[in-house]
Structure 1
């Protein structure tokens, strides 16, 4: 049996994760993400897929974030029809995220048609809600630590990655005619000792390891996120303004609500309303109630108790209620999506609040190179929204401590548990500097052989004649 891997995304980039394993004639795709951020990356979504989608036999999704799952509707549209394996909570989230991504694609195409700024005539979405619905019919839900058979020679185990609800580390056992080999995909790894999610599961054995490196070149701040968040809220209110937070709908929003609930209970911030203005975030919050065993917030509580029912939290689903938030001048916190300010309702809020000197814009998550959020964070004086250059006059703040990604020390803690060293270690899902720095750290600290930073579309033989 021969095994090869082709890097179709998530190499030299934090987005577009797709790793194609060719196990003899069987093609297994690990993750199926959209490219985001820089225009040159986003344009890859429109390119012909490097492999015939109809030739792929099965797909595994490590978690529901769009940079790991968002290409699935397009792949199905282009001919993929095999099974898609993911955890139960991931399947629930995909029903929300894929439909929302499709709806945004359709709305943006319609808006471009109205305004006449698209290069396509007529403007078209990358995929539609119908495509997303078709993709969802292919999902096969699995539970953590349950061994499943992908085919007679491949078994998979999903372990908790601690990144978002349902996120997983995937271990593949490949049974050759001579020996068994284990290939491990870290997915995106969460942090240790967090209030919402459990620690990333310990993995002891990997003949080949794919490990993410989003924060492979940095350490997260040690200061308490709660204290820093309280400081930012109090300063924003002292300016007689509102605090606007672009937040990832899944994971980050729920973690913010946990901290705001705590700060309000302890009276560390003024009594105020917190508006969650994101239908996707609201639905994802409901799923945290449904999948109670996959996070810590239900421990010791009855089956109905939830911090998400705090009376300070106002959940806004309708467009009309969202628009009404423009009339609030001070003393409120608005959480909206998307987290990198690339689309969704946050654009409407940015359009109205970026020019307001009394308001504060707080970034609480990673901002990919080329994203609107990254440009604002790096000091752009204007931001192009709805075809107009909007002046950035509000105060800009950034809070690192809420990251859902393990930092370099936590990544090292996780990989160090693997013994003996893998034959190959591929450092993926990171910007070039981050991946290279983390690869060097593994080399200097563990002296592992063949620690590689793969290139986009590179193909490597992992095993021959096993």
Structure 2
């Protein structure tokens, strides 16, 4: 068996792990690189191996840093099936076409305003290509053992984090490997905790928060304070949020706060048609999350859904207190960019980033205190009050990661720490070595190991 790390190394994006066994090739995850320009350019590079030589893909979950490269992989020659849980397939049916549409819109906007270095600017892939890719999916139940390629048996196990998210266990004659995927939290408002890991010879574990604990503050208290203070000064709260997972958690939080009378009765807008559609999928897969049907129904009505572009534009002229939840979560694209242009320059307003901000994203720059941020070729001043609330993150923190790793029934032969920025990954590596004495390694991009 040979494992090559084609992404998710030195960064929290672009997750791709290639397994090669007896002449067969299985790709675990096919994510987009995001954030820093040198990472994003990898999406355009010639793939390190011929995509036509890959027999199958298995997805841990639907977030674009794990699934968003699939349409591009298919366009480059991949002919196999994409294996995933049913909720992951359903979410990808929303996320991938939306990604293609945004890529097309960004290319068109760049061409219209002349700020691209490429003439003409082209999308990485189109909405049409993304929709076609959904036909390649094959769904599997959690706990089911299936064989995506001869000689490799795969099982998906609930990982929390997101609807349908899974850890991926791969077995072959002579060995086993367990890919954690993105692990959820023990006390997430929306999702149940990850299942304990099964024994494996080789463990590949994420490290997004490998060097830190989540803010100990109660997230509802933090949201209530920010919304109330902003409303008192007549401002607008803008919350960049991932359309799948984070948007639903925020809706639930705002519903509970309003029900408890802890925030004023100001309007809440959900400006993401995809987030609205994704919320419906949580109803379809009710057994996969932890809120009751009654509270779920109330959560769905916690905000006014903004459907049209015209409605979205009107929000930018708001001069009364309000809350706007809009994608994307790291301000890397989507409608939220227009809201940031409209509201970031006014000190009466507030910006809330509810989770991790990858290096090189606008969200990371704003959270770090940048006085301006570049949007659509313009430098926009940031005078609004800025907050980052990690306690809303759907990622396990350092303590929760170590607890999950420590629940392994037996010591793996080796641990590979991935999907984390360099300090976070190395910090988790050191902690695992010190706590368990296991051999750990932080792989680099395109590293290969053979077992």
Task: Specify if TM > 0.5.
Answer: yes
Give the Cα–Cα distance (whole angstroms) in 2 for the partners of residues 91 and 246 of structure 1: 24
Question: Hey, what's the Cα distance between the residues in 2 that align with 1:155 and 1:56?
Answer: 16
Counterpart pick for 2:221 among 216, 227, 233: 227
1:52 equivalent in alignment to 2:73: no
Question: Where do residues 30-429 of structure 1 align in structure 2 (5 Å cutoff)?
Answer: 30-174=28-172, 176=173, 179=174, 181-298=175-292, 301=293, 306-310=297-301, 312-429=302-419
1:437 aligns with 2:427: yes
Q: Which residue of 1 aligns with 2:23?
A: 25
8 Å contact 1:240–1:331 — kept in the other structure?
A: yes
Note the C-alpha offset of 1:121: 2.3
Helix, strand or coil: the match of 2:391?
A: coil
Aligned-residue offset at 1:441: 0.2
Q: Which runs of 4+ in 1 moved over 4 A?
A: none
Give the equivalent residue in structure 2 for 1:457: 446
Indicate the larger mover: 121-130 or 41-50: 121-130
SS at match of 1:401: helix
RMSD of Structure 2 on Structure 1 (CA): 1.3
Aligned partner of residue 102 in structure 2, secondary structure: helix
Contact 1:76 1:134 in 2 (8 A): no
User: What is the CA distance between 1:307 and its match in structure 2?
Assistant: 2.6
Residues 96-115 of structure 1 deviation map (CA, whole Å, 9 limit, x = unaligned): 11001101111111111112
Q: Using structure 1 for the length normalisation, give the TM-score.
A: 0.95
SS in structure 2 of the partner of residue 84 of structure 1 = strand
Task: Compute the displacement of 1:387 (Å).
Answer: 1.4
Q: Is the 8 A contact 1:31 1:62 kept in 2?
A: yes
Taking the aligned partners of 2:170 and 2:300, their CA distance within structure 1 comes to: 40
Judge which range, 429-438 or 147-156, deviates more.
147-156
CA contact (8 A) 1:297 1:306 kept: no
Give the match's secondary structure for 2:239. Answer: strand
Counterpart Cα distance in 1 of 2:288 and 2:400? 21
Give the TM-score of the pair, scaled to structure 2.
0.98
Which residue is 1:15 aligned to? 13
Deviations 1:176-200 (A, max 9, x none): 2xx4x22101000010022211110
Q: Is the 8 A contact 1:285 1:308 kept in 2?
A: no
- SS in structure 2 opposite 1:327? coil
- 2:416–2:443 contact (8 Å) kept in structure 1: yes
Shift of 1:50: 0.2
Deviation at 1:211, TM superposition (A): 0.2
Classify the secondary structure of the residue corresponding to 2:143.
Answer: coil
Cα distance in 1, alignment partners of residues 49 and 6 from structure 2: 9
How far does the alpha carbon of each residue in 1:227-284 deviate from its partner, in whole angstroms, 9 at most, with x for none? 1111111111122211110011111110111111111111011112210001111111
Q: Any unmatched runs of 5+ in structure 1?
A: none
Q: Does structure 2 retain, via aligned residues, the 8 Å contact 1:427–1:451?
A: yes
Indicate conservation of the 8 Å contact 2:157/2:168, yes or no: yes
Between 1:72-81 and 1:383-392, the stretch displaced more is 383-392
- How far 1:130 moved relative to its partner? 2.2
State the secondary structure of the residue aligned to 1:137: helix
Task: Tell me how far 1:305 sits from its aligned partner.
Answer: 5.8
Q: CA deviation at 1:152?
A: 3.6
Task: Tell me the secondary structure at the aligned position of residue 194 of structure 1.
Answer: coil
